[in-house]
Structure 1
Amino acid sequence: MLVCHERYDIYGRSANVQKSTAYQAFETSRTAHDTQSTINKVAHAHKRRVISQAFSDSAIRTFENHVLEHVDAFIAYLTPTDENADESGKTLWSTSANMAQLCSRISFDLMAELVFGKTFHMLEVADNRFIIELIQVAAFRVGVCLQMPILAAWNIDKIFTPNVRKLRDQYVSVSKALAVDRMNMNSKRQDLFSHILAARDPQTGKGFTMDEIWGESTLLIVAGSDAISTGMAGCFYYLSRHHKAYAKACVEVRSTFSSANEIRSGQKLNSCLYLHACIDEALRMSPPVGGALWRETCQEGINIDGHMIPQGYDVGVGIYAIQHNPVYYPDPFQYKPERWIISEENTKHSVDLARSAFSTFSIGPVGCVGRNLAYLELRVTIAKVLWALDMKNTIGTLPEKTRHKYLSRYKDHCENEYWLRDRFTSWKDGPMMSFRVRQT
């Protein structure tokens, strides 16, 4: 590695650590241990070998069309209708929309399609949006218990957060029913669920039990939809505020593809280096998980940056903190996609340095298994929006009361950054955006 810092000492493959016992807060039941809540390193490695098969490049290609269908539906939803036309018939800008809400809805629909084979049409149907609230309150409980495990161990969370626990249990019930429905689906469709169902550990030949399949499915819905929606909303926020970056990304995408239908995984999309840099810079500044992913030191302890930590201590590196460390990212609070691209002004050394500290998807044996799928969804979505539509930030056009409520969130926060609240996953709001059919 170019620079050996605490991240590799704690999260590297040879690190003498295991997941903190605090991760027991992720348990959805006593019998459904998923990769997130499994602490034992051997058991986790088994689960990882099984589920990683569903996220291989070859597996993702089998269900990429499902991803594209949802992205196209998202573009259609953002595109102004005849109601947004003036007297001459010229299309005007769409009504201002909260992109945190829209991104959460489309990402949940997408993950539900890939996991359970069912879409909830959340963009159009308000009745189903309560599920997103269930996920948010469940994540809130987990986030608190992760920092103070004794609350979960003694069931104190039931006393202080009765409604959160009730809604969490409701979500668990819904996800169980969806998993059963997907199991009973007589279909040859290819999706995440089908690959998880068929996957076997290459070392033992064992697959997942039904309880494990349900647990993994529940995790994928929550973690997958949040990471995608936060990354997506963050991209919209930064591109709408940085006009040079927005214009450069538009030129790259519109000159690379002759139609929106061309935009999918492959050589052309991989060639859009500036688009990828815009996404990585948004993920750096506003990571979906910004806190520390706690690890417990094992027998004989661990050496972290020259400091010996004995057995039984929780250690970690804050993702938001390291991704704003000026040692790795000069001007860390400035949105600079160029920092990810080698050029005359930006050496290979500085790009490698930035890459060495990038932790949005973590690293090592417990790094995000869905990283490739998340990148595909983000790149395809942002590319299709940039190709088909013009966009602008509309916070200045909102009524005074609404604008004040939105801007008040940034009172104690860096105004250059997309505002997030850590609930292990992220609670977000905005940006407020409008769209129109591209003019050039």
Structure 2
Amino acid sequence: MPKVGDVALVALPVLVLVALILHLSYNIFVHPLRNAPGPKLWAASRLPWCWYQHRGVLQYKLLELHVKYGHAVRVAPNEMSFTSESAWKTIYGQRSVEMPKDPIFSLLTPTGVQNIMVADRETHTRQRRLLSHAFSEKALREQESLLQLHVSKFLEQLSNNSAAGPVDMVAWASFLTFDMVGDMAFGENFGCLDRGDYDPFVRAIQSMATELTYTQMWKYWRLQALRKYLMSKEVVGKRVENVKRAMAAVGRRLQRETSRKDFMHYILAANDEKGMSPQEIHVNAFSLNIAGSDYERLMAEITAAFGTETDITIASTHNLEFMDAVINESLRLYPPVAITMPRRTPLGGETIDGIYVPGGMTVGVHHFSCYRHPNNFYRPNDFLPERFLAANRDLAPFQKDNRACLQPFSFGPRGCLGKNLARAEMRLALAKLLFRFAVKLQPGQEEWQRSQRLQGFWQKPPLYCILLPKNTA
């Protein structure tokens, strides 16, 4: 006669298997989202989603699913992905009952203090009111000298290094970006352009993004307690280390009396009893740091607009129509945030793109799929900046393009505060770069984007370009 222990030993895996089958069957046949379009395997379990996320190619797989199933796709048992203009408005737009950020994705700061990226609605409104002063048109004009200083240094370094051969534009553009933002946010220059190398803070950002990506997956499987054993030592703890670096820099800036018109100047000048505590200022300063023929046409526009390099300013680049079209098309094909910024549906549920989604479900617009969907843009995988020119909007073949789908800085009351600053930086740096140099890709770099993995941020390999001096006036 078999012993009780032996029976239990045999029965346990059987019970586990039965429970698993029942769970998967529920997700496919009984779950409130059972009728939503999408593959049954993805509806049954989050395992496919996590598999492609782990490989860094989830963006391509989600695009494939959206092309097959339409603008609304069930991509996990409790998650719907969207790619339409109306979804932007419904999910992220101004609402009486806000769709809060998904708590699995919206991680708390290491200190527990809320920053603008993860804050609840009341805290977000209070912090945004104060931070908006640092990104006003007035602040942008007063900050131009800082931007010009770093762009000039960027060009000089390119002039010095391009004579020896092709230069890695990913590295030098990163040096420029972080030196500018670090100077404005902390009042301290990272010194990347001076050294021609990454600061430890900057170097750790990709590892930090990878850590956040894996932490999100562990939370889905309730394995976050094991995260330090499941990730490499090069990744674990990078976020906490970088926040500590940022907080130390903010502390030094708060102790200095200076007339510099950096972010902190505007934040401190507008701070009052309804403003932010010193702890909130610390965690928000960290967040501010983490945000062929066409080429010939752009070169011609820049050459015609400016007599000398010193003529190129934020104001003088504002009306370069084709440059804006190039920037918009670049943001469409290569959005800096290419993932979904997930929200949770409110208690009573919500109808999105004609599909009722019950309360407590995860929803969001997937940037990469939205911008590459053939129902949104003509020849969606081709670089066609002409689509964004006002004269072409109502003409074939671009008359059916849904330009309102392009929201690279997000949408609604939680949209990116720094989008005007970002566009000003792009216009200024690009205009000066192309005024001074003719830029050509090094042979072999044509598939540069296609080879990249995406984990939070794009994992960018070097992009080597040949820079030929044109005019150094």
Superposition TM-score tier, normalisation by shorter sequence: 0.7 to 0.9
1:321-356 per-residue CA deviation (whole Å, 9 max, x = no partner) reads: 000112221000000010000225853995794421
1:91-114 per-residue CA deviation (whole Å, 9 max, x = no partner) reads: xx5521221111111111111100
Aligned residue identity for 2:245: V
Give the CA deviation at 1:208.
1.1
1:62 to 129, 142, 146: 142
Aligned to 2:173: 103
1:286 to 310, 321, 334: 334
Give the CA deviation at 1:71.
0.7
2:385 to 315, 337, 353: 337
Tell me the SS of whatever aligns to 1:277. Answer: helix
> 5+ unaligned residues in a row in structure 1: which ranges?
85-92, 224-242, 397-405
Aligned to 1:215: 283
* 2:461 is the alignment partner of 1:436: no
1:393–1:433 contact (8 Å) kept in structure 2: yes
1:286–1:418 contact (8 Å) kept in structure 2: no
Aligned to 1:22: 104
* 2:132 is the alignment partner of 1:132: no
* 2:239 is the alignment partner of 1:168: yes
Give the CA deviation at 1:10.
1.2
| CA–CA separation in structure 1 for the residues paired with 2:269 and 2:221 | 37
Tell me the SS of whatever aligns to 2:126. Answer: helix
Tell me the SS of whatever aligns to 2:337. Answer: coil
1:268-292 per-residue CA deviation (whole Å, 9 max, x = no partner) reads: 3122100111111111001011111
| Structure 2 CA distance for partners of 1:363 and 1:66, relative to 1, 3 Å | same
Give the CA deviation at 1:26.
5.0
1:51-90 aligned within 5 A: 51-80=131-160
For the aligned residues, what is the CA RMSD?
2.5
| CA–CA separation in structure 1 for the residues paired with 2:182 and 2:117 | 19
Aligned to 1:145: 215
| CA–CA separation in structure 2 for the residues paired with 1:126 and 1:156 | 38
1:26-41 aligned within 5 A: 26-30=108-112, 32-38=113-119, 40-41=120-121
| CA–CA separation in structure 1 for the residues paired with 2:438 and 2:246 | 37
Give the CA deviation at 1:163.
3.5
Aligned to 2:355: 307
Give the CA deviation at 1:29.
1.9
Tell me the SS of whatever aligns to 2:132. Answer: helix
**Identity in percent:** 25
Aligned to 1:383: 431
| Structure 2 CA distance for partners of 1:114 and 1:147, relative to 1, 3 Å | same
Aligned to 1:199: 270
1:260–1:384 contact (8 Å) kept in structure 2: yes
Tell me the SS of whatever aligns to 1:275. Answer: helix
| CA–CA separation in structure 2 for the residues paired with 1:350 and 1:431 | 30
2:178–2:289 contact (8 Å) kept in structure 1: yes
**TM-score of the aligned structures, taking structure 2 as reference length:** 0.76
| Structure 2 CA distance for partners of 1:269 and 1:439, relative to 1, 3 Å | closer
Aligned residue identity for 1:363: F
1:101–1:429 contact (8 Å) kept in structure 2: no
Aligned to 1:374: 422
1:360-380 per-residue CA deviation (whole Å, 9 max, x = no partner) reads: 111001111110000000010
Aligned residue identity for 1:369: L
| Structure 2 CA distance for partners of 1:435 and 1:94, relative to 1, 3 Å | farther
| CA–CA separation in structure 2 for the residues paired with 1:213 and 1:171 | 16
Give the CA deviation at 1:152.
8.3
2:169–2:463 contact (8 Å) kept in structure 1: yes
Aligned to 2:257: 186
> 5+ unaligned residues in a row in structure 2: which ranges?
1-83
Q: Which has the larger radius of gyration?
A: 2
| CA–CA separation in structure 1 for the residues paired with 2:281 and 2:400 | 38
| CA–CA separation in structure 2 for the residues paired with 1:195 and 1:352 | 43
Give the CA deviation at 1:16.
4.3
Aligned to 2:373: 325
| Structure 2 CA distance for partners of 1:4 and 1:173, relative to 1, 3 Å | closer
* 2:83 is the alignment partner of 1:5: no
| Structure 2 CA distance for partners of 1:183 and 1:297, relative to 1, 3 Å | same
Aligned residue identity for 2:241: Q
2:218–2:227 contact (8 Å) kept in structure 1: no
Tell me the SS of whatever aligns to 1:315. Answer: strand
Alignment length (residue pairs): 387
| CA–CA separation in structure 2 for the residues paired with 1:349 and 1:58 | 39
| CA–CA separation in structure 2 for the residues paired with 1:77 and 1:262 | 20
1:121 to 181, 191, 194: 191
**TM-score of the aligned structures, taking structure 1 as reference length:** 0.81
2:378–2:397 contact (8 Å) kept in structure 1: no
